[in-house]
Amino acid sequence: MHTGLFHSLDLDRDGKVLSHLGLPFSVDRSPYFQIKIPICVIRNGAGPSVLLMAGNHGDEYEGELSLARLIRRLDPARMRGRVTILPLANTPAVMAARRCSPLDGGNLNRAFPGDGGGTPTQRLAHFLETELLPRHDVVFDIHAGGTSMAHLLCALIETNADTSRHEAALSLMRRLGLPFGFVADNGLGAPTSMGAARRAGVIGLSGEFGGGGTTTPASMAATESAIDNLLLTLGVTETPIFQRPPTPAAPMRLLGLSRQSQAIYALRRGWFEPAKPLGALVAAGDVAGFMHDLERLDAPEEELRFAEGGVVLSHRLHTMCEAGDCLVQVAELLA
């Protein structure tokens, strides 16, 4: 009654059901309050089982809007298997337009494997990793740069020691129709949704589809095309669900990010000016940007240089920064 996570879902029932997960969280204004997290299950007989997630971070909107649209458009009669849709995974963060939950400060993508008796974010992570993810074959967790970051449009998987699952994830990632694929190595105990998928024995896919806490026609088109491509590739659907035709799979360039030297961090308060656009091919020693000090107008701006070459993967959007803020990342070009 006062902890855990409650739902009445029947994942094996045919049809379309829009329901909620309930997370108890007593607050001043409502002692028996439950956080209501929308979830939709659409099923038509035997077939692949896919979990589509967005809102893992609340200020990343491409996935949230696309999955809300998918809930309205996907007809069980037009598919086979099961599609479970979690469009606002960290619902309190979504409603507050924040990266993390305003209720407990929880960053869902750093909370796995969670804790069944912990904070709401920890309980949700525990439910996803131990109960929901294992009921599916594939999970696609859709991200973007959020309010503070511009990010290169790319798909993402995490390294998997199980060679067959790693190759399966790599193959699916190549079919999403994106120009870049990013292979992350966050270790066996990764607190991310992709780490949770690996531990649950599920093929995990993710990606970065925009940035700046907003959407664009291009970012929405890429997101909806990737969803369609995934469902078509898995055989869940035979025709695109979204009105626009999906982008055909093209040769994907693979990127890697595994070393601290691939990022530049602020060492003090300042105002950051990036010098290279997303996707730029840079060499070690190239100027990455400039750090200004608007409290010392007589001091020249400081040049910041890349320690490694590669492709510019992300950069900070908020010009003002504090010590410890990541200013820019460069990914190694693997293939």
Structure tokens at 231: 């469902």
Buried b (16+ CB within 10 A) or exposed e, 119-131: bbbbbbbbbbbbe
Bridge partners of residue 311, in order along the sequence: 281, 331
- In angstroms, rounded to a whole number, what is the distance separating the alpha carbons of residues 174 and 181? 7
Q: Is residue 226 included in any domain, yes or no? A: yes
Q: 151, 226 in Cβ contact below 8 A?
A: no
Structure tokens at 254: 């693979």
Q: Provide the pairing of β-strand 49-53 with 81-86.
A: parallel
3-state secondary structure of 236: coil
Q: Is residue 3 included in any domain, yes or no? A: no
Residue that finishes a domain, picked among 256, 273, 295: 256
Residue that finishes a domain, picked among 203, 235, 256: 256
Q: Is residue 138 included in any domain, yes or no? A: yes
- Are 230 and 175 in a shared domain? yes
Q: 269, 322 in Cβ contact below 8 A?
A: yes
> What single DSSP character describes residue 131?
I
End-to-end CA distance of the chain: 52
- In angstroms, rounded to a whole number, what is the distance separating the alpha carbons of residues 63 and 39? 14
Q: Is residue 7 included in any domain, yes or no? A: no
Residue that finishes a domain, picked among 202, 224, 256: 256
Q: Is residue 4 included in any domain, yes or no? A: no
Q: Which domain holds residue 297?
A: 260-333
Q: Is residue 8 included in any domain, yes or no? A: no
Instruction: Pick the closest to residue 97 from 84, 110, 88 (CA basis).
Output: 88
Q: Is residue 5 included in any domain, yes or no? A: no
- Are 265 and 245 in a shared domain? no
Q: What type of residue sits at position 28?
A: D
Q: pLDDT tens digit string along 129-167?
A: 999 999 999 999 999 999 999 999 999 999 999 999 999
| CATH code, 295 | 2.40.50.100
Question: Measuring CA to CA, how many Å separate 274 from each of 1, 114, 249, 283, 290?
Answer: 51, 36, 31, 15, 6
Q: Provide the pairing of β-strand 281-282 with 326-333.
A: unpaired
3-state secondary structure of 164: helix
Number of structural domains in the chain: 2
In this prediction, residue 1 carries a pLDDT of 59
- Are 231 and 308 in a shared domain? no
What is the pLDDT tens value at each position of the chain, 335 positions in all? 577 898 988 999 999 999 999 999 988 889 998 999 999 999 999 999 999 999 999 999 999 999 999 999 999 999 999 999 999 999 999 999 999 999 999 999 999 999 999 999 999 999 999 999 999 999 999 999 999 999 999 999 999 999 999 999 999 999 999 999 989 888 889 999 999 999 999 999 999 999 999 999 999 999 999 999 999 999 999 999 997 777 777 789 999 998 999 999 999 999 999 999 999 999 999 999 999 999 999 999 999 999 999 999 999 999 999 999 999 999 999 97
Q: pLDDT tens digit string along 56-93?
A: 999 999 999 999 999 999 999 999 999 999 999 999 99
Instruction: Pick the closest to residue 5 from 52, 53, 37 (CA basis).
Output: 37
